[in-house]
Amino acid sequence: MKYTIKDIAKMAGVSPSTVSKILNNYHDIGEDTKKAVLEVMEKTGYRPSYSAKALATKKSNIIGVIYAGKINADFNHPFFVDVINAFKKNIGEFGYDLLFFSNEKFASSKGDYLSRCRHYQIDGCIIINGDDIEASIDELDHSEIPCIGVDLPLSGKTSGYVTTDNYQVSAKVVEHFYLLGCREIAYIAGNPKSVVSNLRTEGLERAMQKFGIPFREEWVVHGDYFEESGYEAMKKLLSHGEVPQALFAASDLMALGAIRAIKEEGLRIPEDIAVVGCDDIDAARLVDPPLSTVKQDKEKIGKLAAYMLRDLMDKRTDSCSILVEPELIVRQSCGAKSRDGSNRVPVRQTGP
Amino acid sequence: MKYTIKDIAKMAGVSPSTVSKILNNYHDIGEDTKKAVLEVMEKTGYRPSYSAKALATKKSNIIGVIYAGKINADFNHPFFVDVINAFKKNIGEFGYDLLFFSNEKFASSKGDYLSRCRHYQIDGCIIINGDDIEASIDELDHSEIPCIGVDLPLSGKTSGYVTTDNYQVSAKVVEHFYLLGCREIAYIAGNPKSVVSNLRTEGLERAMQKFGIPFREEWVVHGDYFEESGYEAMKKLLSHGEVPQALFAASDLMALGAIRAIKEEGLRIPEDIAVVGCDDIDAARLVDPPLSTVKQDKEKIGKLAAYMLRDLMDKRTDSCSILVEPELIVRQSCGAKSRDGSNRVPVRQTGP
DNA sequence: CTGAAAGCGCTTACAG
DNA sequence: CTGAAAGCGCTTACAG
C-alpha cells in the first residue's frame, strides 16, 4: 500500500500543508500536531514521492556524474573509480544520490549535457576528465548548474575543480632521483594530447632545470599508458647505446613494461637503472622488484569534490579550485631501499 | 530559457495533449501536425521535464543499483566494477540511467530498500551480492519491482539472477590439474560465510570425487581473499611437512601470497607446486611466473543482467536465472606451459 | 499555529 | 485526427 500526503493528513486529522511543513522541518508547528503526524508517518511507513517533490521544488537531490570526452573505461578506470567512490561516500552523507548518465542511448545528442541535467533537474554535477572534451561541457560549465571538474579545469561562475598537482608529480620524482645521485633521467610520457600528461612533462623539465640536471629530448619517449607501450619505449631508449641511470614512467603499467625490457637486456634494477612508476596500482607492490611509484590522493580528491560541490550548491562559495599533493611511495625499484626494507645510502657516482 | 509542453503547444498552434502524443510516438497524429510540432521542438531545444513525466506515468526510466550487505568496496571491487560497467552500457541502450543509492545518509533506514525504490519510482533494480544480506532485500525481491541479482539468487515473481557457475570454477581447475597428472590438490578457500565461496568448495569436492582424487580436509584452509591471508594459509599448509602437487586459491591475491610463501620455502613453481588462482586481476599476468587463473565472464554477466531486467520490466518474462561458464586462463604457474609459451607435456608422476 | 487553493509539467481516458 | 479536463503528489505564498 502506497500512502500519499493526503492520506497521512486525513489520518492525522490535519491538512496536507501541515504534513508538508513537518516533512520539511518548519518550526512554526504545534508540538502536539507534530507528534501526531509523525506517529502516523511512522505507522504507515510513509515515504514522500520523489518526483512530486522534485516537480514542486525544482530540486532533485541528485548529482549527475559525467565522464566527459573519450575515456578508456568508465567505472573501471583505476584512478577515477577510487575518486568517485570517495565522492559518493561523502556526497551521500549530505543526502544526495548519484545518477550516472548513459551515453549510449543518446549517442547523437550525447553532447547535450545541459539539457539532460535540466531534464532530471539535477542539483549539481561532477565531471570526470577524458580526452577530447566535448564543446557542450563548456555550456554546462557556464550554466546555472554547479559543477566540479576532476582533473578538468572549469571556469564557470558556479563551477570549481580539483586536481592532483601534476607539476609536483614529476618534481617529487626528480628530487628523489637527485638525492639518490642520479642525473641521467629518462622519461616515458603519456599521450601527448593529454593535458595531464603535458603538465607532468613540463613539471619534469622545470624540476630538472632547478636541480641543474640537463633535460635531453632524446630521453623522452611517449607511450599510451599500457604495458606494451612501456616495453617498446624502453627498447627504443636503450637502442641509443647509452643507459640512463634512472627512469620515470607516467604509469605503472608502462613502468612494468619497461622493467621487462630492461631485464631482457640483462640490466639490473635498481643497480643499473632505477625505476619509478606512477599510479600505485595493485600490481606495483606485487612484482619483482616492488615498484616505487607516485600515488595520487584519490580519497582526498573525491572528498574535496563532494565538499566543494555542496558549498557551490548551497551558494556558500563562488568558483574555487584546489590542487592536491601527490605522494611518492618508495619501494625497491628505485634503489632507495634494499630488499630487506632498510634504507640504503646512495652510493652512485654522478655523471658518466 | 526553459520551455514547457504548453509553450510548445502554443507555438505550434495545437493542444498540449497533441504534443504529448507526439512525444510518446502515438500513431494517430496527422503528418502535418507532427512535422510542425517537431519543428518547434527542434528550434526551441525543448526537453520534457523528467519529474513531471515520472509523476504522471509513475515510471522513471531509472534503474537502482544496490550493493547489498557488507561489501569490501563498492565501485572498486575488481569483479563487480566490470559487471556494472557492462550492465550500464547495455541498459543504457534501452534508455535507462543508473541511480546509485548512497547508503550513508540513510544509515538508520538503510535497509529499507523498497521504500527508497518507490520513492524514486525506480523501474527496476540490480542487486550486487555482499556478505550478510539485509532482510529488506528480501522484501524488495518479493515486491512488484523487477530485480536482477548478481551472484545473489532471488526468488520473487518479478526477479531473476545471473551468476557464474561456481561449481564449474573449481571443476575446471580440478580437471586441469588431473590432466597434468596432479592428484594432491590443496585449496585456499574464501570466507566460509560466503555463499559463493562455499559453492566453490563444494564444487571442488565433487569434482575431485568424480576424478577419484581423495579430498583431504587438512589441505583446505580459509583466507579472506587478500594477499596476506594467502601467504599465511600457504605457510600453514606447508607446515604439515607434506607438499601438495597443486594449489588452487579462491582469489588471485591469495595465490600471489601463497607463491611468496612457496618461494620462501625454496620450492619452485610450477615444478614443485602448480598454482592456479581465481579472478584474473591485472597483476596475474604481470608477476613471475605469470599466474594461471579462472576468469569470470563479467561482460556477459553484465549484459545478461541488462537484458533479463529489461524483459522483466516489460513483462515479457517471468522470473529467470542463468549460470555463466567461467574460463580457465592457462599461464605458466600451473606448469602446462613452458616459459617460451609452448605447451608442455605433463611429465609428473602420480601419487607419492 | 493551521489550512484552502493554486501551481509544478506532464499523461490519459474521454468526447467529438 | 485533435483537444478539454482531471489527475499524478507534492510545496508555497497567503489568509486567518
pLDDT tens string A307-323: 999 999 888 888 889 99
Residue B347 burial by Cβ neighbours in a 10 Å radius (0-12, 13-18, 19+): exposed
Residue B286 binned pLDDT confidence (cut-offs 50, 70, 90):
confident
Please give the Cα distance from B97 to A100 (Å, whole number): 6
Residue B339 has pLDDT above 50, yes or no: no
Please report residues of A whose CB lies closer than 8 A to that of B74.
Answer: 85, 88
Task: Find out whether B281 and B254 touch, Cβ atoms under 8 Å.
Answer: no
DSSP category for residue B193: T
Least confident of A156-170, A198-212, B110-124: B110-124
- Tell me the average pLDDT of chain B: 85
Nearest residue to D11, CA vs C1'?
A56
Say which DSSP state A215 is in: -
Confidence check: pLDDT of A341 > 80: no
Neighbours of A210 (CB within 10 A): 12
Mean pLDDT of A268-295: 91
The integer distance in angstroms from the CA atom of B6 to the C1' atom of C7 is 14
pLDDT score of B243 = 92
Going across the sheet that includes B185-189, the strands are B220-222, B185-189, B246-249, B274-278, B292-295, B327-329
Q: Which chain A residues are Cβ-neighbours of B49 within 8 angstroms?
A: 55, 119, 121
Main-chain phi, psi angles of B202, to 5 degrees? -60, -45
Q: How far is Cα B342 from Cα B326, in angstroms, rounded to an integer?
A: 23
Contact in structure between B85 and A75 (CB atoms under 8 Å) = yes
B95 in contact with A at a CB cutoff of 8 Å? yes
Q: Which of A293, A217, A205, A216 is nearest to A251 (CA)?
A: A293
The reply to whether B109 Cβ lies less than 7 angstroms from strand C is no
What CATH architecture is A166-296?
Answer: 3-Layer(aba) Sandwich (3.40)
Average pLDDT over chain A reads: 85
Q: What is the pLDDT of residue A67?
A: 83
**Per-residue pLDDT at A300 exceeds 50:** yes
* Cα A273 from Cα A289, distance rounded (Å): 12
Residues belonging to chain A: 352
The residue with cell 605522494 is A327
Predicted confidence (pLDDT) per residue in A126-155, tens digit: 998 876 677 788 888 998 899 999 988 999
Q: What is d(CA B119, CA B107) in angstroms, rounded to the nearest whole number?
A: 16
Nearest-angstrom CA–CA distance, B92 and B86? 10
Distance CA A228, CA B329 (A): 20
CATH 3.40.50.2300 residue spans of chain B = 62-164+299-324, 166-296
B142 contacts: CB under 8 Å, gap ≥ 6:
B155, B156, B157, B159
**pLDDT surpassing 80 at residue A3:** yes
pLDDT band for B165, please (50, 70, 90 cuts).
very high
- Hey, are the CB atoms on A102 and B88 less than 8 Å from each other? yes
- Least confident piece of the model among A192-196, A337-341, B180-184: A337-341
Q: How far is B286 from chain A (nearest CA, A)?
A: 7
| pLDDT tens-place string over residues B291-329 | 999 999 999 999 999 999 999 988 888 888 999 999 999
Give the CATH superfamily of B62-164+299-324.
Answer: Response regulator (3.40.50.2300)
Q: CA of A282: which chain B residue's CA is closest?
A: B283
Q: Is A103 on the interface with B (CB under 8 A)?
A: yes
Q: What is the pLDDT of residue A58?
A: 81
Residue B168 CB burial class (10 angstroms; 0-12, 13-18, ≥19): buried
Ranges for all domains in chain B classified under CATH 1.10.260.40: 5-48
Residue linked to cell 618508495: A330
Partner-chain residue, chosen from B81, B99, B118, that has the shortest CB–CB distance to A81: B81
Q: How many CB pairs under 8 A join A and B?
A: 147
A62-164+299-325, superfamily in CATH?
Answer: Response regulator (3.40.50.2300)
Task: Please tell me the predicted confidence (pLDDT) of residue A335.
Answer: 82
Q: How far is CA B286 from CA A116, A262, A263, A287, B273, in A?
A: 42, 15, 14, 7, 19
A55-CA/C7-C1' distance, Å: 10
Rounded to a whole number, what is the distance in Å from the CA of A212 to chain B's nearest CA? 36
Confidence tier at A350 by pLDDT (50, 70, 90)? very low
Convert the pLDDT of each residue in B251-285 to its tens digit: 999 999 999 999 999 999 999 999 999 989 888 98
Q: Which fold has domain B5-48?
A: 434 Repressor (Amino-terminal Domain) (1.10.260)
pLDDT-derived band of residue B64, with 50, 70 and 90 as boundaries?
very high
Average of per-residue pLDDT across B47-55: 83
Could you tell me which of B7, B28, B9 has the C-alpha nearest to residue B19? B9
Evaluate whether A290 touches A284 at the Cβ level (below 8 Å).
Answer: yes
Please, which residues 273-302 of chain A have a Cβ atom closer than 8 Å to chain B? 281-283, 286-288
What average pLDDT does this structure show over B93-120? Answer: 69
Residue A54: its chain B contacts at CB < 8 A?
51
Q: Cis omega before residue A214 (within 30°)?
A: no
Residue B135 pLDDT level (bands cut at 50, 70, 90):
confident
Tell whether the model's pLDDT for residue A342 goes beyond 60: no
